[in-house]
Amino acid sequence: MLRPSKKMLFAIEAVLDIAYHAGGEPVQSREITRRQGIPRRYLEQTLQQLVRSGILVGVRGPRGGYRLARERRRISVGEIVRVVRALEITEDPYQDVPTSELGKRVIRPMWNDLSEEIMNRLDAITIDDMCMRAYKGGISSEAHAKLDFTI
């Protein structure tokens, strides 16, 4: 069953923050922590997992940080959710829960169907869609402040 955990929401926020505020430069985790208020202990582990899964790229060095591994229109919210769920769920959480035949044959399949529908919807939402929502919502991007048109 899909249930948004703190870590899942933090991961989506972090990827969206990188996409929205990067401006072509790597985004350092402390910047994400400052803007989003995400506790650093959650953030670092999650960012590393997103790097291992190919959603982000880690950039080393004094001006290093994280950037998207692909165009933001090619990264879905569903993909991020799957990465975090893999971290959180190592086995079926309902395996040891006793249940009746109604639970096994009716309720669990219903929840599985709903979870699949939710994942399909999340797969259809890209990070680019989320950036456009932020832009239309009037959220200012620090990427614009980083642009320098001086010749």
Tell me the domain boundaries of the chain.
Answer: 6-145
Q: How do residues 87-126 score in pLDDT, each as one tens digit?
A: 887 655 566 566 789 988 998 899 889 989 999 999 999 9
CA distances for 120 relative to 91, 93, 123, angstroms: 22, 21, 5
Q: How do residues 46-95 score in pLDDT, each as one tens digit?
A: 999 999 999 999 999 988 999 999 999 999 999 999 999 888 876 555 66
Give the span between the Cα atoms of 124 and 127, in whole angstroms.
Answer: 10
Give the span between the Cα atoms of 22 and 66, in whole angstroms.
Answer: 9
Task: State the pLDDT at residue 47.
Answer: 95
Residue 13, pLDDT > 70, answer: yes
Task: State the pLDDT at residue 149.
Answer: 46
Task: State the pLDDT at residue 83.
Answer: 94
Task: State the pLDDT at residue 108.
Answer: 87
Task: State the pLDDT at residue 93.
Answer: 58
Confidence of residue 42 (pLDDT cuts 50, 70, 90): confident
Average pLDDT over every residue of 7-19: 95
Residue 146, pLDDT > 90, answer: no
With H, G, I as helix, E, B as strand and everything else as coil, classify residue 139. coil
Task: State the pLDDT at residue 33.
Answer: 94
Confidence of residue 24 (pLDDT cuts 50, 70, 90): confident
Under 8 Å between Cβ of 13 and 63: no
- The burial class, CB within 10 Å (0-12 / 13-18 / 19+), for 57 is middle
Look at 59 and 1; give whichever has higher pLDDT.
59
Helices (H), 22-62: 29-36, 40-52
User: How is domain 6-145 classified at the architecture level of CATH?
Assistant: Orthogonal Bundle (1.10)
Q: How many residues does the chain have?
A: 151
